[in-house]
Amino acid sequence: MSKLAVTPHANNFGARIQGIQLQSPLSEDLVNEIRDIWHQYQVVYFPNQPLDHPQLEQFSLSIGNFGDDPYVESIEGHNNILEVRREPNEDIAPFGGSWHSDWSFQLTPPSATILHAKIVPPVGGDTHYADSIRAYEALDAALREELDAMTTTHSARRSYSHEAYKKGGERTGMKILPSEKAWDTQIHPLVRTHPDSGRKGLWINPVYTLKINELAEKDSDELLEKLFAHILKPEFIYEHTWAENMLTMWDNRSVMHCAQGGYNGYRRVMHRTTIAGTQPF
């Protein structure tokens, strides 16, 4: 019998997992059970998990190999951990403060993103998640069939090109590494089939998706705007509130997310890893 206690959120999108401590190595059976819960609820979180860097790396590797994290400097001595930090006096939008799927501009974007809360401000700082699977399933069947045949172009240029970084303002809490590589593009299907659950979801996001390749620019912009508005309807959103030492893992293959502000004057520090994924299909 499982020792895990799972508490789902509304619409079975997001779930709390208790009854486990992540500091020690996990059995294969327990890891498989966590993966199954994660695939079902897409966003899972584990309260009260004080972890040092090696322990966070150990849990991450139990889920899968590390992903490739460009454009952000990692923690010294821990190449696969990024510190997402915003200082009290930083007059700049939170890192990840627009709706996106992590690194969707890559050929093989991450399957999972893992975020561990180190310092949580007393106000604000939530993360919102959008369920692209239920959003897709709620569309009219004829529109779904049209979208199934479409592809999109993704790029990091809006966030990590030198031009974009200059416009975005200076960060002091973490080091961004802009690059000409940000102008590279990657073509993906507009609708992605989840490799584990087999369910389909809208594989687009406002930050990295530039256009729908089969449409003229005006038509592409209009359809993307319509689809983004649809995905971000309240019924598809889970609003996640953090606590110190909480570890949260979301399925980057079917979930968009957006870091919220509202904590000016306070420090917020998170440690992040990504898990390698496969090419979308």
Phi, psi of 208 (to 5 degrees): -105, -15
Q: Which of 69, 85, 86, 100 is catalytic?
A: 100
Paired sense of beta strands 78-86 and 74-75, if any: antiparallel
Instruction: Give the integer Cα–Cα distance in Å for 207 and 222.
Output: 16
| DSSP run (H or E) holding 186 | strand 185-189
Strand partners, 46: 247
The token duo for 250 is 């979301």
Please give the C-alpha separations between residue 116 and each of 5, 83, 209, 245, 256, in angstroms, as whole numbers.
20, 10, 27, 6, 18
Task: Give the torsion sign (CA, 148, 137, 200, 217).
Answer: positive
Rounded distance between C-alpha atoms, residue 259 and residue 43, angstroms:
14
d(CA 79, CA 273): 10
272 is catalytic: yes
Does the active-site annotation cover 100? yes
Say if strands 43-46 and 15-18 run parallel, antiparallel, or are unpaired: parallel
Reading the block at residue 105, the tokens are 């501009």
Catalytic residue among 240, 253, 257, 271: 257
Cβ 99 vs Cβ 255: under 8 Å = no
In angstroms and rounded to an integer, the radius of gyration of the C-alpha atoms of the chain is: 18
- Active-site choice (102, 154, 157, 192): 102
Query: Is the distance from CB of 132 to CB of 256 less than 8 angstroms?
Result: yes
Question: What would the two tokens of residue 49 be?
Answer: 């998990």
Report helix, strand or coil for 189. strand
Q: Which active-site residues does the annotation give?
A: 100, 102, 257, 272
